Amino acid sequence: MTKKLTLAAVALAMAIAPFSGAVKADAGEWENLAAEAAWNYGDYRVERLSFDSDVTAPFSLGELVFVADPTDSRDRYDLYMLKNGMSVAIPNVPAELMSAERFAKNESRLVYVNQTGTSSDRFAVMEIDPTDGSTSTLIEDAFFNRATAVNVMTDGDDVYFEANIDHKGATTTNQSGIYIWDAAEREADIIGRHWELRMEELFDAKDGIAFEKLTFDDSSKQLWIGDTHNVNYLGMTREAIPGTWTDASGNMFTGRILEDGTFEYFMFYTRYTFDPDVDAAPVRHEGEYLSWYLPVESSYQYAGDLLAWMDPENDLYVSDEDGDVTLIASGTSGAFLLEEDRIFYGVGASGMMVDLDSGAMESIPFAVTDASGDTLVGTDEGGNIWSYNLETGKSVKLGFGVDPMISDDTHVYWKGTDGNIYEATILPSAGMTTEAVAAMKLSTSNVVYLIDGSSRKTIPSEAVYFSWFASWDSVQTVSQDTLNSYSLSGSATFAPGSLVKMTNDPKVYVVGEDGKLHWITSQTVAYTIYGADWNQGIVDISFADFTSYPVGTQIQSEHDIDLI
């Protein structure tokens, strides 16, 4: 049950001072996220962050979480990476960088293109380091004559470009070409020289092979294979995939190159594969369809070497690196999340998780939108934001809105119905594994035991008891035989996540899941982890009790709490 907002929480919201203005991009430095208001709910706290109202909802690329603020330039954004309650700004990036499909095909690399200097014909390839948000230059100066926009795709050390060319109204179709970077000559070479006007889209690239969709001036389309290894007097060659031409009414939506060089794609919403070494024509996979009821970009997802999609009947499929397809289940339309070793999907008001290696399934109490290890986040049918810990089975309702994303085990971000971005920090006590324990006693004795697995421990004090349980109602009165079925194994200690200190010593320690005491080295660190009420509920213990605990590593940052 969600705890009610207390007067202390209101005071905390008023005490965030001074309030910062809206966040603006200023590259390079990690900064604490500025909050306009905050509420403390015990196991977690929620902050309304100071982003502009037109910022996007949070989105994830792999394990990374971002929000993006539109700039005055067309299709450019100021990007903010969110991590450990902090953010780093990456100004003026193209919309393409925010594509989960392009991120997967770039082998989880954050690469993009910027114009250099004042010249509109020269471009640089940039890469963001996901560990610290810093930006480096991969290619300093790539020349594309009359280019209006340039996108990039990487495959190992190979760098490919899609360059849109300005033909000054000579055609009704946007024109572009596919290029590969020649590092020795420091120039981009076109793959398949041509003179007719057409648009070229790079579906995928692997080992010097480019998988392309061409759109001609009459809006007809065709799939082609570019080969950077095969060169004739016109340069690098390419050829059409037979049977893929379609008039303006048809389309191909996504495609990739499988591990063995086979091409996999959807054409007319149907899945096809083509192995140029074996097949005379593409193979149509009857019954394997992309949903035409969903926006195309919502009907499929990539993660590593996997492709998942939902069909018109809401059946969910996964194709692996060899193109072998598995029917997962039938779920809620558009509600699925693919990871490299598991997939989540919605079922009515709840969800399911499937291990893609073992096939094991586990029910989840909501539809999952993002995951980090054992911590899942998502929404229910009422728009409530939830987190769920797979290890403890504990759920926490965090707020209300859309698109919750988790950047680590403890920080969740979402967009509220008021248009603001919210951050929830799940405190360590919310994730500690206290769910499996019980309290038992005999009717003839006041001694209460902590039951943990097959053992029982004497609970020495009320303070220790209430670190595990909320009230005396949790105590079960049992028979002597039942109690004897649990082996006696000493005295219970404070529950993981408890804050303790010695009498007459200001140092505050947190009890870790390792059973050790960990000194929280400063008030700043304590505030960052627990919020403004961090000093409430600290238990004084005697020197004798203190010495009965081993001492563990110090808590010098918010990240350290995840390691105990």
Last residue of a domain, one of 475, 494, 513: 494
Position 510 in a domain = yes
pLDDT, tens digit, 9 for 90 and up, residues 83-117: 888 899 999 999 999 999 999 999 999 999 998 87
pLDDT interval class at 286 (50, 70, 90): very high
CA distance 120 to 142: 11
Whole-number pLDDT of residue 194: 65
Position 129 in a domain = no
Token readout for 107 is: 């082998």
pLDDT interval class at 532 (50, 70, 90): low
Residue 51: name the closest of 65, 39, 68, 38 by CA.
Answer: 68
pLDDT, tens digit, 9 for 90 and up, residues 538-560: 899 888 888 888 898 999 887 77
pLDDT interval class at 466 (50, 70, 90): confident
Could you tell me which residue, 82 or 524, shows the higher pLDDT? Answer: 82
Give yes or no: residues 483 and 519 share one domain.
no
Whole-number pLDDT of residue 35: 85
pLDDT interval class at 38 (50, 70, 90): confident
Q: What sections of 469-509 are H helices per DSSP?
A: 480-484
Query: Which residues share a beta bridge with 177?
Result: 163
* Residues contacting residue 43 through CB under 8 Å, at least 6 positions apart: 3, 396, 426, 427, 429, 430
Give yes or no: residues 509 and 482 share one domain.
no
User: Above 70 in pLDDT, residue 3?
Assistant: no
By residue range, what is the domain housing residue 505? Answer: 496-564
Position 523 in a domain = yes
Q: How are strands ordered across the β-sheet holding 122-128?
A: 110-115, 122-128, 135-143
Domain with residue 502: its CATH number is 3.30.2390
Computed over every residue of the chain, the mean pLDDT equals: 87
pLDDT interval class at 44 (50, 70, 90): confident
pLDDT, tens digit, 9 for 90 and up, residues 157-209: 999 999 987 765 555 555 788 999 999 999 999 887 765 667 899 999 999 99
What's the chain's length in residues?
A: 564
pLDDT interval class at 282 (50, 70, 90): very high
pLDDT, tens digit, 9 for 90 and up, residues 215-246: 988 899 999 999 998 876 666 888 999 999 99
Q: Domain count of the chain? A: 2
Give yes or no: residues 505 and 560 share one domain.
yes
Whole-number pLDDT of residue 196: 62
Last residue of a domain, one of 468, 494, 520: 494
User: Above 90 in pLDDT, residue 36?
Assistant: no
Give yes or no: residues 514 and 504 share one domain.
yes
Give yes or no: residues 505 and 516 share one domain.
yes
User: Above 50 in pLDDT, residue 341?
Assistant: yes
Position 481 in a domain = yes
Position 153 in a domain = no
The proportion of the chain whose per-residue pLDDT surpasses 70, expressed as a percent, equals 89
Give yes or no: residues 486 and 500 share one domain.
no
User: Above 90 in pLDDT, residue 404?
Assistant: yes
Residue 324: exposure state from Cβ atoms within 10 A (0-12, 13-18, ≥19): exposed
Whole-number pLDDT of residue 20: 31
Residue 383: name the closest of 332, 417, 412, 420 by CA.
Answer: 417
Could you tell me which residue, 78 or 410, shows the higher pLDDT? Answer: 78
pLDDT interval class at 504 (50, 70, 90): confident
Give yes or no: residues 533 and 554 share one domain.
yes
Torsion sign (Cα): 178, 184, 185, 187: positive
Position 452 in a domain = yes
Position 314 in a domain = no
User: Above 80 in pLDDT, residue 434?
Assistant: no
SS3 482: helix
Give yes or no: residues 535 and 545 share one domain.
yes
Last residue of a domain, one of 478, 494, 510: 494
| Mean pLDDT to the nearest integer, 132-142 | 92
pLDDT interval class at 471 (50, 70, 90): confident
* Residues contacting residue 192 through CB under 8 Å, at least 6 positions apart: 178, 224, 226, 234, 235, 236, 237, 238
Give yes or no: residues 490 and 522 share one domain.
no
Whole-number pLDDT of residue 392: 81
Helix, strand and coil in the chain, % to nearest 5? 10, 45, 40
User: Above 80 in pLDDT, residue 348?
Assistant: yes
CA distance 320 to 339: 12
CA distance 298 to 333: 10
Whole-number pLDDT of residue 22: 40
Bridge-based pairing of strands 198-206 and 175-182 is unpaired
Position 19 in a domain = no
From 254-268, 274-288, 404-418, the region with the lowest mean pLDDT = 404-418
Give yes or no: residues 563 and 500 share one domain.
yes
| Mean pLDDT to the nearest integer, 372-376 | 92
